[in-house]
Every structure is written in structure tokens, then in C-alpha cells.
Amino acid sequence: MKLYTGKAGSNPKKVAIFLKEKGVEVPTQLFDMMAFEQRQPDFLKINSLGTLPVLELDDGTIITESVAICRYFEELHPAPALFGTDPVSKALVEMWCRRVEIEVHNVCAQVVQHSAEFFKDKVQQVPEYAQNQRALAPKKFAWLNEEMSDGREFIAGDFFSMADIIGFTGTGLAQMLKIELPDDLTHFHAWHQRISARPAFQS
């Protein structure tokens, strides 16, 4: 198999962290995303959307989308479990992956997509929408902070999961965009400090 990925971007980072947490190494081909290598004709034959990461299996099967790739490796390497271990924990991880992706990560991603030169030929950019989402982002992090005020250690409960990886990459987008995350979001900041110290999250 081969993983097509890049150094930049929150989606490649999700898979990179996941694989480090699993202790799994995969043959990798790095693309210079800022030079648009992933949008060249040869790669578009692999992924018509021209996005990264992409996992190509030995039989030629192509898996795109970061969470789908991580789920594939979860099936191959179930321990440590990052998508839950039983019906309840699996449902909670799924729930929190969706909630954090929609409510936190994607809000920041919309700022990038509607303001960055990199995306000008991928979406019909609306600068006013980018500003709207930028103003909304701190409220979304405040929501996450309140959700974690019950004292749990990780987003989906007392266990580390894929939801934490998505939350981390969403936070990375906010930091890149210089979106202010107030100091009084104490539960959020304590969580972010905890997971940032994990070896898999080190650059």
C-alpha cells in the first residue's frame, strides 16, 4: 500500500497523528501541496477531487477522506482502539467526531477556504462568509469548553480517541488564523495541553 499525503493541511495531519498513535508505518509519497502537485493530471486519475490524503491498497483500491483512512487502519490494527471498543464507546466517538468536525473544525476550515489564495479556484469564495465564520469560531470553542466542564479528560470521555485528533487539528487551524481563544476557556486549554504533550502530536 501507499499513502499519498502532504506536510501541510489538517487532513494529512489527522492521518499522520493517528498512525503515530497506532505505531504503524506506511510507505508514503509526499506532495508539495502549496505547489499544487496534488492537482496535476496524473494524481487526478487517482483522486478526481485533487485532495490529500489518499490511501492506495495493494489491489488498487483507493480510499480518500482522512477519517475513512483512519477507520481502515483501525480495522487492521485494533489496538490501541481510537474509535471505541464497545457499542457505547464507539457511538460516543462517532458522535464526538461529527460534533467537533462540524462545530469546530469546519468553522475554521471555512475561514481558510473563503479567504486563502490556495482555494480560490476550488470554491466560490465569499469574503463576508469568511469573516462571519471567523467571528463564530471563538463561540464554538467556548461551546467545547462548556461541554468538557464535566471534568472528563478527553473529548469523548475518559479515553483518547479520533475525536481528540480532529479537535486538535481544528485548534491548529484556529491558531494559524490567529483566532483568539480566551484564557478563560480553562477546560479546553487543559485538554489541549494534555494531548499536545503526547508523543504522536510532536512535529
How far is it between the farthest Cα atoms of the chain?
A: 51
> Under CATH, what is the fold of the domain 87-201?
Glutathione S-transferase Yfyf (Class Pi); Chain A, domain 2 (1.20.1050)
How distant, in Å, are the alpha carbons of 76, 109, 150 from that of 188?
32, 19, 11
As a whole number of angstroms, the distance between CA 151 and CA 14 comes to 25
What are the domain boundaries of the chain?
Answer: 2-76, 87-201
Residue 49 has what pLDDT?
94
Which residues are CB-neighbours of 48 under 8 A, at least 6 positions away? none
* Class (C level, CATH) for 2-76: alpha beta
Task: Judge if 2-76 and 87-201 fold alike in CATH terms.
Answer: no
Owner of C-alpha cell 487526478? 44
Give per-residue pLDDT as tens, 139-193.
999 999 999 999 999 999 999 999 999 999 999 999 999 999 999 999 999 999 9
* Interior/surface letters 45-64, b for 16+ CB within 10 angstroms, e for the rest: eebeebbbbbbbeeeeeebb
| Residue 122 reports pLDDT greater than 80 | no
Question: Which tens digit of pLDDT belongs to each residue from 44-68?
Answer: 999 999 999 999 999 999 999 999 9
The reported pTM is 0.94
